[in-house]
Structure 1
Amino acid sequence: MKNSIFSVFILTACVFINSCNSNKKEINLDANRNVVKKYHEVWTNGQVTDLDKILAPDFVCHFVNGIEWKGIEGAKNSISSHRKSFPDWKEEIVDMVSEGDKVVTRYKSTGTHQGTFEGLDSTGIKVTIYETSIYRIADGKIAEQWGFPDALSLNNQLTKQ
């Protein structure tokens, strides 16, 4: 009799605990990583029309150097403008970490300076920098990005004599 009461108590506790988690939204870490990989691919291939499937409509990007853009159109304009300065821009993910609704990438960016960039006319210099970005994913799309490019290294490479 004691065993059956104890078993009913344990079963009831398990049902209660599981039912408390039933409203919790399940996070798919693989899907989060994949959408971030696709975003890096857009920076590499310049196919900004793909951003409609990758970014949330209210997407916001914050860069450590004070640059910020909002919305899918803002991202399209920023990527297109950057690729005018560096038409062969390529981003290669080196490290990726994800937890909850966040994905962090450390990536190697390369490109040849062939157009005006931050007031500096084309130098023809091939640059390589490392960057880190933190992404917040919401409903399968990137909602926010915090970018930390090695701007000092980029500037030093572009202005070397």
Structure 2
Amino acid sequence: MRIEATRGKQGIGMEVKDATDVEAAQWGKYRWWRYVLGLMVILFSWLVVGSVGNAMEQTLEQNKTFIRNHFEEFVNRKNSAIAYQNFAPNFIDREEPFVGLVSPELVKQTMEKAYVKYPDLHVTVEDAIAEGDKVMVRCLWRGTDASTGKKMEFKGFVLWRLADGKLAERWATVTPPLR
């Protein structure tokens, strides 16, 4: 059986004609490329989606590594100049001590005061979770007050938003320091 499109007064219609098995087989032998093309489209889509997923996962891991390295350099190694490299010029702090638009210079100066007050200040990033352009970390801060010799410790969660490879925004929740 063969189906052909026909034209008539009422538009395009379908007409059924008888065909031998040989004719039907010949029509099918030229349609194999459609199946191959379909398989290629499916395979290509799978590769693209897979590579986008891997790229996204890699970016999430890179963001977590960036935050861990930021804490290591900025706090533990007391490299305050890294503020110019890590903080966006229009960095927004959503929590104390600043609340609002903060320059890398102000962040740098604030940490330098903390280095003096707590010369052994150290932060440990205990957990890091990333999604989209944000990284949430759970941290443990420890230090000794230089003027009193008292040890302090506090825990907190910090949510960072990154933009263009820099810290763009911060939210933080911390426990009161234990002494």
Same fold (TM over 0.5): yes
2:86 touches 2:166 (CA, 8 Å); kept in 1?
yes
Name the SS for the 1:53 alignment partner: helix
Cα 1:14–1:83 shift into 2, 3 Å: same
> Within 2, Cα distance between the matches of 1:100 and 1:4?
40
Q: What stretches of structure 2 of length at least 5 have no aligned partner?
A: 1-29, 49-54
Structure 1 residue 66: Cα displacement:
6.0
The one-letter amino acid of 1:127's match is M
Residue 60 (structure 1) aligns with: 92
What is the TM-score normalised by the length of structure 2?
0.66
> Within 2, Cα distance between the matches of 1:47 and 1:77?
11
> Within 1, Cα distance between the matches of 2:112 and 2:97?
19
1:74 and 2:99 are equivalent in the alignment: no
Structure 1 residue 54: Cα displacement:
1.7
Q: What stretches of structure 1 of length at least 5 have no aligned partner?
A: 20-25, 115-121
Moved over 6 A (4+): 13-19
Cα 1:98–1:3 shift into 2, 3 Å: same
Cα 1:96–1:74 shift into 2, 3 Å: same
**Structure of greater relative contact order (alpha carbons < 8 Å, 6+ residues apart):** 1
> Within 2, Cα distance between the matches of 1:17 and 1:94?
36
Residue 30 (structure 1) aligns with: 61
1:84 maps to which of 94, 116, 119: 116
Task: State which structure, 1 or 2, has the greater radius of gyration over its C-alpha atoms.
Answer: 2
How many pairs align?
145
Structure 1 residue 88: Cα displacement:
1.4
The one-letter amino acid of 2:65's match is N
1:137 maps to which of 137, 154, 162: 162
Name the SS for the 2:94 alignment partner: strand
Q: In the TM superposition, what whole-angstrom CA distance separates every residue of 1:38-82 from its partner, at most 9, and x where no partner exists?
A: 22121222211122222222222222x564361211211221122
The one-letter amino acid of 2:148's match is T
The one-letter amino acid of 1:56's match is A
* Overall identity of the aligned pairs, in %: 22
Cα RMSD (Å): 3.1
What is the TM-score normalised by the length of structure 1?
0.72
Cα 1:141–1:15 shift into 2, 3 Å: same
Q: In the TM superposition, what whole-angstrom CA distance separates every residue of 1:67-104 from its partner, at most 9, and x where no partner exists?
A: 43612112112211222322211001111111221111
